[in-house]
C-alpha cells in the first residue's frame, strides 16, 4: 500500500474513532419511541451560537427507509491566514451518525454537496464534531493553550453520515460550532496519531485475537488517546516497549463496552503527556468473539489505537507496521516544467499545450499522490486519472500514459511509497515505470510530476 493508500484507511479510522456509531445506535432512538423530528430545515436555529463561535450548517437531506449516506458539504472558502481551532461542537437530527469538521487545501465551492469519496480522507484533517442522534457533543474538549491549526489556503467542509433504520422517510441535518482564533505562540498545536491494521479477520462462530505492532519513527507525546473496536470486541490493550527495554501499559480495556464505539473512553494526559521516544515498539492487542456464521473483516471490525500528540508538524500513522506521514503543508499541484523528448501520445503541439494545466489539476506530489483517484489506482484501475485528463482537454491516449505510470508505481513501490520518503518513492518509480511512461507519452518522466 502506498502513502496515499495508507492515509485513505487512516482517514476512515479517524472518522470512525472520533465520532462513530452503528446501526444499533440509530435503532436505539427508534426503540425508545423517539420520532423523526419535524422541521429539519430549521434544526439548530433555536440553539444559541456560543460567544466567539462560528456556526456552520449542513444542507437538509432526505433518506428513504433503510437508506444511509456519507456526504461532503463545503461550508467555508480558503482562509487567507492561519487560524487556531480551539473547540468544535454541534448537533445532528435523529438519523445522525456523525458530523466532523475537516480542513483541506483541495478547495471546492462553498455550498457544494456530494457523496464522500474515500480520497477526501487523504487530503484533509479532522477537528472533531458531534456524534449522532441529536446530541450536542464535544468529542475533544481541549484545555486552554492547546489548539488545532487551520492553515492559510485551507477551506472547511462538514463530513456527515446519516443512517435511517426506520420504515419512514426522514429529513436530516447537522450543524457545527467552531471557535477560531488568531494563532498564538502561547498555544501548543495538536496533531493525530494512529496505530491500526486492515488485515484483521474474524473466523465464523469463534474467538479471534491479533496484535498490531509498530516501531515509532519519531518522538511522540500523547495527550489524548483511546483504543477502538466494534461490536464483536471482547478486550483491547495497547502497550509500549521503550528503546531501553522498559515496558509500559498505555491503555488497557480488559472488557470492551459497546458504548465506546460511539463515545471513546479517552485517557487525557495534558498535564503529564505520555512520552514515547523514537524507536518505541507499540503493540495493540485485540480479542473478539464472532457470534455469527460468517467471517467478519475490516472495516466491519477494527483493532485501533488512536490519539492526539504534541510537537509534530503533520499527522502520523502506523498501518500494519508501516510508518507514514501525512504531508498537509501544500495540497497544490506540482509546477515542474514539461519536457518533450520524442514522439508519443502527449507530444503533439495541441496536446502538449494543454498538458501542463491538466497535469497540475490531476496530479500532486509525492508521485502517485493523486486528486480523487487513490483507491482505484491502488486496485490497478487508471480510468479515474484518464477521465481527469480528458476533462482538461487532453486526449485519453495521453491520460492513459499517466494512469499507467501511477498504477505501475502503486504496484511496484509499496515499501518505498509507504515510508513517507518522497525521494525514495520517486526513485522506485523511476527505476520501474518511467521508461514505459516516456515511450508512451513522449514526455520526460522526471518532469511528469
- 141 in the same domain as 69: yes
The confidence score (pLDDT) of residue 381 equals: 82
User: Where does the pLDDT of residue 446 fall: very low under 50, low under 70, confident under 90, or very high at 90 and above?
Assistant: low
- 175 in the same domain as 66: yes
Residue 263 lies in a domain: yes
389 pLDDT more than 90: no
89 pLDDT more than 70: yes
- 226 in the same domain as 156: no
Rounded alpha-carbon distances, angstroms, from residue 380 to 50, 285, 383, 411, 432: 48, 32, 9, 8, 16
198 pLDDT more than 80: no
The confidence score (pLDDT) of residue 339 equals: 77
Arithmetic mean of pLDDT, 229-252:
95
- 304 in the same domain as 375: no
199 pLDDT more than 70: yes
User: Where does the pLDDT of residue 15 fall: very low under 50, low under 70, confident under 90, or very high at 90 and above?
Assistant: low
User: Where does the pLDDT of residue 321 fall: very low under 50, low under 70, confident under 90, or very high at 90 and above?
Assistant: confident
The residues pairing with 289 across neighbouring beta strands, listed in sequence order, are 207
Residue 343 lies in a domain: no
Residue 344 lies in a domain: no
24 pLDDT more than 50: no
- 230 in the same domain as 90: no
136 pLDDT more than 50: no
Residue 342 lies in a domain: no
314 pLDDT more than 60: yes
CATH number of the structural domain spanning residue 77: 2.60.120
Per-residue pLDDT tens over the stretch 42-62 = 888 888 999 999 999 999 999
User: Average model confidence (pLDDT) for the chain?
Assistant: 80
The confidence score (pLDDT) of residue 397 equals: 95
Least confident of 189-193, 322-326, 433-437: 322-326
The confidence score (pLDDT) of residue 414 equals: 66
Number of domains into which the chain is organized: 3
349 pLDDT more than 90: no
For the chain, what percent of residues have pLDDT higher than 70? 77
The confidence score (pLDDT) of residue 410 equals: 81
- 207 in the same domain as 168: no
Residue 332 lies in a domain: no
Closest CA to 285 of 237, 320, 335, 229: 237
- 177 in the same domain as 201: no
Most confident range, picked from 314-318, 374-378, 429-433: 429-433
Identify whether the C-beta of residue 89 lies closer than 8 Å to the C-beta of residue 213. Answer: no
Rounded CA gap, 36 and 29, in Å?
Answer: 9
For the chain, what percent of residues have pLDDT higher than 90? 37
- 80 in the same domain as 58: yes
CATH number of the structural domain spanning residue 269: 2.60.120.230
163 pLDDT more than 60: yes
The confidence score (pLDDT) of residue 436 equals: 94
pTM over 0.85: no
The confidence score (pLDDT) of residue 421 equals: 63
Concatenating the DSSP letter of every residue in 354-366 gives HHHHHHHHHEETT
Rounded CA gap, 320 and 282, in Å?
Answer: 12
- 423 in the same domain as 389: yes
- 25 in the same domain as 157: yes
Least confident of 76-85, 118-127, 170-179, 264-273: 118-127
241 pLDDT more than 90: yes
Arithmetic mean of pLDDT, 263-284:
90
- 121 in the same domain as 262: no
Nine-digit cell string for 387: 477521465
- 156 in the same domain as 54: yes
423 pLDDT more than 60: yes
Rounded CA gap, 149 and 382, in Å?
Answer: 34
Closest CA to 11 of 251, 281, 299: 299
Indicate the DSSP class of residue 1. Answer: -
Residue 339 lies in a domain: no
User: Residue 373's domain spans which residues?
Assistant: 349-447
Amino acid at each position: 500500500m502506498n502513502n496515499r493508500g495508507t492515509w485513505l484507511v487512516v482517514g476512515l479510522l479517524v472518522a470512525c474513532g472520533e465520532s462513530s456509531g452503528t446501526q444499533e445506535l440509530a435503532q436505539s432512538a427508534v426503540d425508545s419511541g423517539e420520532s423523526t423530528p419535524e422541521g429539519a430545515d430549521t434544526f439548530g436555529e433555536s440553539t444559541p451560537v456560543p460567544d466567539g463561535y462560528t456556526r456552520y450548517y449542513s444542507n437538509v437531506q432526505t433518506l428513504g427507509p433503510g437508506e444511509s449516506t456519507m456526504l461532503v458539504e463545503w461550508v467555508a472558502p480558503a482562509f487567507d491566514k492561519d487560524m487556531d481551532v480551539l473547540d468544535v461542537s454541534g448537533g445532528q437530527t435523529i438519523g445522525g451518525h456523525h458530523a466532523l469538521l475537516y480542513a483541506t487545501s483541495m478547495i471546492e465551492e462553498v455550498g457544494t454537496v456530494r457523496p464522500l469519496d474515500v480520497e477526501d480522507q487523504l487530503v484533509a484533517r479532522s477537528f472533531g464534531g458531534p456524534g449522532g442522534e441529536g446530541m450536542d457533543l464535544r468529542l475533544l474538549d481541549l484545555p486552554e493553550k492547546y489548539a488545532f491549526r487551520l492553515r492559510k489556503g485551507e477551506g472547511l467542509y462538514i463530513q456527515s453520515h446519516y443512517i435511517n433504520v426506520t420504515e419512514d422517510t426522514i429529513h436530516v441535518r447537522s450543524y457545527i460550532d467552531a471557535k477560531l482564533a488568531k494563532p498564538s505562540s502561547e498555544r501548543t498545536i495538536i496533531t493525530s496519531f494512529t496505530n491500526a491494521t486492515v488485515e484483521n479477520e474474524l473466523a465464523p462462530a469463534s474467538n479471534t485475537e491479533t496484535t498490531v505492532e509498530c516501531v515509532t519513527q519519531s518522538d511522540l507525546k500523547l495527550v489524548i488517546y483511546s483504543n477502538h473496536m466494534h461490536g464483536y470486541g471482547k478486550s483491547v490493550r495497547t502497550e509500549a516497549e521503550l528503546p531501553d527495554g522498559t515496558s509500559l501499559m498505555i491503555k488497557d480495556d480488559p472488557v470492551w463496552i459497546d458504548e465506546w464505539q460511539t463515545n471513546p473512553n479517552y485517557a487525557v494526559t495534558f498535564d503529564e503527556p505520555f512520552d514515547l521516544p523514537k524507536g518505541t515498539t507499540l503493540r495493540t492487542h485485540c480479542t473478539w468473539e464472532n457470534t455469527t456464521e460468517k467471517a467478519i473483516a475490516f472495516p466491519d471490525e477494527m483493532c485501533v489505537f488512536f490519539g492526539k500528540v504534541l510537537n509534530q508538524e503533520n499527522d502520523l500513522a502506523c498501518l500494519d507496521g508501516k510508518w507514514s506521514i501525512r504531508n498537509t503543508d501544500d495540497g497544490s499541484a506540482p509546477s515542474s516544467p514539461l519536457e518533450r523528448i520524442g514522439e508519443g501520445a502527449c507530444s503533439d503541439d495541441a496536446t502538449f499545450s494543454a498538458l501542463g494545466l491538466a497535469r497540475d489539476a490531476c496530479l500532486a506530489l509525492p508521485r502517485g499522490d493523486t486528486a480523487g483517484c487513490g483507491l482505484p489506482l491502488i486496485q490497478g484501475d487508471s480510468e479515474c486519472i484518464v477521465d481527469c485528463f480528458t476533462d482538461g482537454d487532453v486526449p485519453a491516449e495521453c491520460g492513459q500514459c499517466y494512469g499507467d505510470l501511477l498504477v505501475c508505481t502503486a504496484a511496484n513501490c509499496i515499501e518505498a511509497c509507504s515510508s513517507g520518503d518522497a525521494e525514495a518513492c520517486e526513485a522506485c518509480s523511476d527505476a520501474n515505470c518511467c521508461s514505459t511512461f516516456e515511450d508512451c507519452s513522449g514526455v520526460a518522466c522526471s518532469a511528469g510530476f
